[in-house]
Amino acid sequence: MIMTPFLKWAGGKRWFTQRYSHLLPKRYSRYIEPFLGSGSVFFHLQPQQAVLGDSNPDVISAFQGMKEDWVQLRSRLLDHQRLHSNAHYYAVRSTVPDDKTEQAARIIYLNRACFNGIYRVNRHGVFNVPRGTRDTIVFDGEDFQAKAQLLQGAQIHLADFESLIDDARDGDLVFADPPYTVRHNLNGFVKYNEKLFAWSDQERLAYALFRAYARGAKIVCTNANHSSIRELYADRGFTLLDVSRFSPISASADSRKPFEELVIISDPPREGEER
């Protein structure tokens, strides 16, 4: 059964699952994803056991809401669809409810109704993306129940990535997709990415993955294809692969071009062999 994410997320990896799913192991114990976002790879693999985490509380609220009460969540989203307007959108954007299901419905509604599905907060942590053009909030045939059932096998944590990776054991699969931009791969990589994910965090991530690999975990990590990243993972037993994608988040279609990214994998498959 094909399952798609219920969130749209900048830097999401649906393109990766569509083009490079052969790089993902077929056999593993638990699936661990410490930078959850929309969970594209999780929904593609549909693991029986998973540990999912993110440092973004809105992401975690959305996934917990789906897992714990998909019926009520869908009902609230249908309410948002019925009430959807400029006034309703900005009223929802400016208010954070106390109820967990309402919190989940809020972020999914805003994610689907805002401009280009972008998630952005101001310096006070307040979501501030303007309304987009989409009016449909709940799509025909969207199977909330299947997503909720899949999530029953997942532990969901609001957590820093390092603690989740440090929990990886022999046979587990860690898929790490840290925040990064590839628009400045050749010019100012560190400067532009420092705002998203500091270089000290890149180093912390690398060493956490090295430790997990030493314990027997399988590693797949996506990152910017830049010499500094390559040097960080060189001579550590990983295979570094260049991949390309299409980056759709842009105000102008003319400026949407392919961007090269890096996939860092342990124990890559031989030709004709399943991992």
Q: Give the separation between CA 118 and CA 250, rounded to whole angstroms.
A: 10
Q: What is the mean pLDDT of the chain?
A: 89
pLDDT of residue 249: 45
pLDDT of residue 48: 97
Average pLDDT (158-172) is 97
Average pLDDT (167-180) is 95
Average pLDDT (185-208) is 75
pLDDT of residue 172: 98
Please give the full DSSP string across 140-190, using - where no structure is assigned.
TT--HHHHHHHHTTEEEEE--HHHHHTT--TT-EEEE------TTSSSSHH
pLDDT of residue 248: 47
Q: Could you tell me the domains of the chain?
A: 14-55+159-266 (3.40.50.150), 63-143 (1.10.1020.10)
Write out pLDDT tens, residues 219-254. Answer: 999 998 888 899 999 999 999 999 887 554 444 444
pLDDT of residue 250: 45
Banded pLDDT at 267 (limits 50, 70, 90): confident
Banded pLDDT at 274 (limits 50, 70, 90): low
Higher per-residue pLDDT: 187 or 102: 102
Write out pLDDT tens, residues 109-124. Answer: 999 999 988 898 888 8
| Unique residue bearing structure tokens 């898929």 | 175
Which two tokens mark 22? Answer: 């052969």
Dihedral sign (CA 147, 150, 152, 155): negative
Contact 173, 30 (CB under 8 A): yes
pLDDT of residue 255: 46
Whether the predicted pLDDT of 11 surpasses 90? no
Whether the predicted pLDDT of 204 surpasses 80? yes
pLDDT of residue 256: 42
Indicate the angle between helix axes 100-113 and 86-93, nearest 10 degrees. Answer: 130
Q: What percent of the chain has pLDDT over 90?
A: 73
Average pLDDT (163-181) is 94
Write down the pTM of the prediction. 0.89
Higher per-residue pLDDT: 59 or 11: 59
Q: Give the separation between CA 63 and CA 68, rounded to whole angstroms.
A: 9
> Phi and psi of 265, rounded to 5°?
-130, 150
**Residue 10, burial from CB neighbour count under 10 angstroms (0-12, 13-18, 19+):** middle
pLDDT of residue 252: 46
